[in-house]
Structure 1
Amino acid sequence: MQAPAIGGVQAPRGGGQTIRLSRGASLADFADKIGANPASLVQIMLHLGEMVTATQSVNEETLQLLAAELDYNLLVVSPEEEDRELLESFDIEFGEDEGDEGDLVARPPVVTVMGHVDHGKTKLLDAIRHTNEVAREAGGITQHIGAYQIATEHEGEDRKITFIDTPGHEAFTAMRARGAKVTDIAVLVVAADDGVKPQTIEALNHAQAADVPIVVAVNKVDKEGADPNKVRAQLTEYGLVAEEYGGTTMFVDISAKNGTGIDNLLEAILLTADAELDLRANPTMDAQGVAIEAHLDKGRGPVATVLVQRGTLRVGDSIVCGEAFGRVRALLDDNGKLIDEADPSRPVLVLGLTAVPGAGDNFIVVTDDRMARQIAQQRAARKRIADMARSGRRRTLEELFSEMEKGQVDELKLIIKGDVSGSVEALEDALLKIDVGDEVRLRVLHRAVGAITEYDVNLAVADDNAVIIGFNVRPEVRARDLAEREGVDIRYYSVIYQAIEEIEAALKGMLKPEFEEVQMGTAEVREVFKVPKIGNIAGALVRSGTIVRNSKARLIRGGVVISDNLTVSSLRRFKDDATEVREGYECGIGVGYNDIKLDDVIETFEMREKPRV
């Protein structure tokens, strides 16, 4: 292998060879893969204009830059593949049913309800479950995912359907995408009086990306101005052609408020499941599935809503879910009743975890608590390294010099605490997408589920008085007292878009004001008067606008600026002092500059702050 000198540094060249690295790998990891000295790679990166230490976790872009320079093909392992390799090291296969074909039995379909905000998704589930979920939601907007299983009769047979309710606000895009990943069928709710909206298309894209069949529920057909046929026509543009138009998508007209058409919708779901899907799972294997939601319960500790996808989850099982692990102490169904086990496609509340998992984390049942702890700890370590690489912003030498010259970029630091992990994650995702330019940055120091603690307040104090955001949570008594003593700003929200709007306003408030020059008036010099002890005064005719005393001015001769940064120090009309002289009037102007000639132009202006858009 040839070892060419790059910037005077010897390094082995790859010759197109492919190397695999995990997310957040360091230059030392890269050097280990190619048999090089880490110090030489640090020097090469310096030659490329990047300041990186040998042990620092770096992002994929930096690793690709180095790989291209050394002629290697770099493959950064995806989080899913990374997790699969981790589980394989423990002889666990996730995502596949064990056993023979004969071990598989039919399971209920998992249905995700999606659509535009306020089109009636939660009302529909409310009608299906005969409960009242809408009244519990702040602002009438679903704030986090819920999962429910209902029973219905289909062709003389009792059948079950599991429903997942995903939030409707655009800030929950990441959670809605997760909802599509765990689902078998997507129900797209579209209001007949409102038609197809941007979030309708967004939800449709998620469902199509997950490659799941779609059933369209045309809601609010009983309202004045409702036009179900318009909805059918609009959705044909996006590839959803109704059966009555010769297509394959089932459209069902419903009124969630009055409860009409609900049975037809359930029948359409089961018909779609039977016709297009082979929904079977092995109930005898160790359970596997996904966390739909999780939160910290004051009396019960970490609580997670999980959807069992294969196998049977039982009380007493050792479980690992994302970075959380534990032994299942209790299982509760969607009605809050204690149950002993949960079979495939059943959503249950799990008690007994050591920490709050993230919404969308997969869970597995393992042989013992020791294995569960090891998997959770390795997952946490890998995620921490990947987060360090992502949050560590690449800075070139030019950027470093630039920052030294103009001072550091202003930064708003946040600590986010919420009631459920899905909401915390979605809020962070939405806040980090706020763009107010390069002058101000937003950084999330810490995010977690549960009440605001003394740790959060101390972290805010230690890190230049960061702002704490409480989403549906409040501080503990001692934390509140500490925050008052230290002057830490704690903001409380129950609806996510209010938090986004306020933080965006705060970021814009941190921006340094931008000024623009506004011309006030021009005056043409007609005569020059010499005044003892004062100097030359211009006898002038105001050609445009208004000449105002004490305004800034410049002297222009033949279209060329002769002197800038002058001030109208004296302004007179005949023998009287004037504060301003309007267009068409003559006046005497003193600008503290003696080289004034006939036909010169005095231009006055002021600097006004530009409003931020």
Structure 2
Amino acid sequence: VAVAEEEAGDEDEKLQARPPVVTVMGHVDHGKTSLLDAIRETNVTAQEAGAITQLIGAYQVEVNGHTITFIDTPGHEAFTAMRARGANVTDIAVLVVAADDGVMPQTIEAIAHAKAAAVPIIVAINKTDLPAAAPDRVKQQLTQHEVVIEDFGGDVPAIPVSAKTKQGLDDLLEHIQLVAEISELKANPERPAEGTIIEAEKDANRGPMATVIVEKGTLRVGDAVVAGESWGKLKAMFDHRGDRIGEATPAMPAEIMGLESVPRAGEPFIVVEDERTARELAEDRRRQSTDGGQQRVTLEALSGEIAAGRTKELNVVIKADVQGSVEAIRGSLDRLSTPEVRLNIIHTGTGAVSESDVMLAAASRAIVVAFNVKADPGGKRLAENEGIDLRNYRIIYELIEDVDRAVKGLIEPVTLEVVDGHAQVRAIFRVRGGRIAGCSVTDGVVRRNSLLKVMRDGEVIHTSRTSSLRHFKDDVREVTAGLECGIGVERFESFQEGDVIEAFHVEQKG
């Protein structure tokens, strides 16, 4: 899969083998960070070991002459935030499970995130040096969550390790290398760079700093870069040791300096021709997000896509008060798939809807159904920001009925008209191809892509959209209150002085 994706748009002879990018996931107390530290320490000389500090959230190690890139995510939400923004930076997920604690709720969440990303999983059973360690019990538990270990006839390797004694680390690294070889990971280093922002912050002395992983091409100091709504010319780059570098090749992590603002973690970046192009692209994106914001993924919208034949699946995250409710809902929803539309339950769990649940839904274009539970504050806030449909139910029958109607494409979307602004017609001008209204914008904003109503004496006499928008002689994207403009309206020319033009847009209500 990895090769097919990366070869798109690249000539075969330019593709070169690249290191794997490995994300380490798991329960916060199961030794994820200490495992990463132990791997890094085995890879440096004794003199360096005492002084090593990890400066950025990613680093590279050498194993038998091959390089591996590790990403240390603060949580699996961050991993999935990257996918939600269109980045598939990870090639292999290492799932860390403590040999004494076994599979915990956070482990189950991590499994769901790794599976949704469709990346190979390697299990690292950590803390095997403890007296209470029970690796076989861990393997049994994982099988219950559809992670079937090789010992039990599955295809997931499980490596017993100890971050403390460093036992099993070589074995783990060899398995990573093996999975990477099978995946045949390649990239073209000769093209303009593309990649992903792993983390970003504003440094008091150096300004906005971002850690990136290059996925394709070679990133160089002096390149013009766009990441989401941020842009800039790279003034300096540093490797994971903090040393200045001039370029970063595919799968290499680097810290970059020179962006005008702090980008969001998980945002893809691209290199463009020059600074002017970078600025224009970033400003375009900023305008789009102000204009329309994020497209909400609602049950109604997905139902409409199914009815129109644009989508063939419906993804659902289930949260409920108790496990019995989860099983009942899952059992009923499993039966709703049809030959035309597949219903995928991508994650289930008990308790409040968390940020992790919402992020998983965002990356998978899923809806979240909550039975007898609410969202915690972080989950609620994230659902609003990411445009996720969070549906609360108290009666199982209603939940099943709603999802069933969506699968059949029967739910009618509820739409709302949102007024953006008004303009008053002061004069009428004849131009090539018709007539336009010379207006003054009295409130709000009129945009080039606005829907419009022409109103006379309080009555709507025509509804369509903007055909042209000018400020003096310039074509413009928008005109705000207090300014004058010329507005062309599709299929309408019978303006009169005193007419009011109302600009609006339509939102689907979830």
CA distance, structure 1, for counterparts of residue 13 and residue 137 of structure 2: 47
Choose from 211, 231, 236 the match for 1:305. 211
Choose from 336, 361, 376 the match for 1:434. 376
Choose from 108, 123, 128 the match for 2:19. 108
1:434 positional shift: 3.0
Aligned to 1:181: 88
8 Å CA contact 2:73, 2:79 repeated in 1 = no
CA distance, structure 1, for counterparts of residue 189 and residue 145 of structure 2: 38
8 Å CA contact 2:7, 2:187 repeated in 1 = no
1:152 positional shift: 1.2
Alignment of 1:583-598 (within 5 A): none
1:98 positional shift: 3.9
CA distance, structure 1, for counterparts of residue 194 and residue 382 of structure 2: 35
1:95 positional shift: 7.0
Q: Which amino acid aligns with 1:118?
A: D
Q: Which runs of 5+ in 1 are unaligned?
A: 1-93, 132-143, 391-421, 447-613
1:146 positional shift: 1.2
Q: Does residue 263 of the first structure (1) align with residue 170 of the second (2)?
A: yes
Aligned to 2:230: 324
8 Å CA contact 2:17, 2:185 repeated in 1 = yes
What per-residue deviation string (whole Å, max 9, x for no partner) do you get for residues 97-143 of structure 1? 54310110000000000011111110111101129xxxxxxxxxxxx
CA distance, structure 2, for counterparts of residue 383 and residue 433 of structure 1: 25
Moved more, 332-341 or 255-264: 255-264
Label 1:444 to 1:233 Cα distance change in 2 as closer, same or farther (>3 A).
closer
1:231 positional shift: 0.7
Bigger CA radius of gyration: 1
SS at match of 2:173: helix
CA distance, structure 2, for counterparts of residue 343 and residue 259 of structure 1: 30
1:159 positional shift: 0.3
CA distance, structure 2, for counterparts of residue 388 and residue 351 of structure 1: 28
8 Å CA contact 2:80, 2:113 repeated in 1 = no
Label 1:445 to 1:109 Cα distance change in 2 as closer, same or farther (>3 A).
closer
Aligned to 2:138: 231
CA distance, structure 2, for counterparts of residue 376 and residue 95 of structure 1: 25
8 Å CA contact 1:315, 1:328 repeated in 2 = yes
Alignment of 1:313-392 (within 5 A): 313-387=219-293
8 Å CA contact 1:291, 1:363 repeated in 2 = yes
Percent identity for Structure 1 against Structure 2: 50
CA distance, structure 1, for counterparts of residue 149 and residue 244 of structure 2: 42
1:384 positional shift: 2.3
1:389 positional shift: 8.2
8 Å CA contact 1:166, 1:175 repeated in 2 = no
CA distance, structure 2, for counterparts of residue 364 and residue 443 of structure 1: 26
Alignment of 1:186-585 (within 5 A): 186-275=93-182, 277-387=183-293, 433-434=375-376
CA distance, structure 2, for counterparts of residue 295 and residue 328 of structure 1: 16
1:221 positional shift: 0.4
Label 1:233 to 1:314 Cα distance change in 2 as closer, same or farther (>3 A).
same
8 Å CA contact 2:100, 2:133 repeated in 1 = yes
8 Å CA contact 1:149, 1:162 repeated in 2 = yes
What per-residue deviation string (whole Å, max 9, x for no partner) do you get for residues 386-444 of structure 1? 44887xxxxxxxxxxxxxxxxxxxxxxxxxxxxxxx99x99xx9xx94369xxxx9899
8 Å CA contact 2:15, 2:186 repeated in 1 = yes
What per-residue deviation string (whole Å, max 9, x for no partner) do you get for residues 18-50 of structure 1? xxxxxxxxxxxxxxxxxxxxxxxxxxxxxxxxx
CA distance, structure 2, for counterparts of residue 211 and residue 443 of structure 1: 23
What per-residue deviation string (whole Å, max 9, x for no partner) do you get for residues 223-243 of structure 1? 121100111111111222222
CA distance, structure 2, for counterparts of residue 262 and residue 279 of structure 1: 23
1:376 positional shift: 0.5
RMSD: 3.4
Label 1:435 to 1:388 Cα distance change in 2 as closer, same or farther (>3 A).
same
SS at match of 1:231: helix
1:445 positional shift: 12
SS at match of 2:213: strand
CA distance, structure 2, for counterparts of residue 322 and residue 361 of structure 1: 6
CA distance, structure 2, for counterparts of residue 280 and residue 206 of structure 1: 24
TM-score (norm 1): 0.45
CA distance, structure 2, for counterparts of residue 329 and residue 123 of structure 1: 33
CA distance, structure 2, for counterparts of residue 216 and residue 230 of structure 1: 14
Q: Which amino acid aligns with 1:351?
A: M
Instruction: Tell me how many residue pairs correspond in the alignment.
Output: 296
Q: Which amino acid aligns with 2:260?
A: T
Q: Which amino acid aligns with 1:292?
A: I
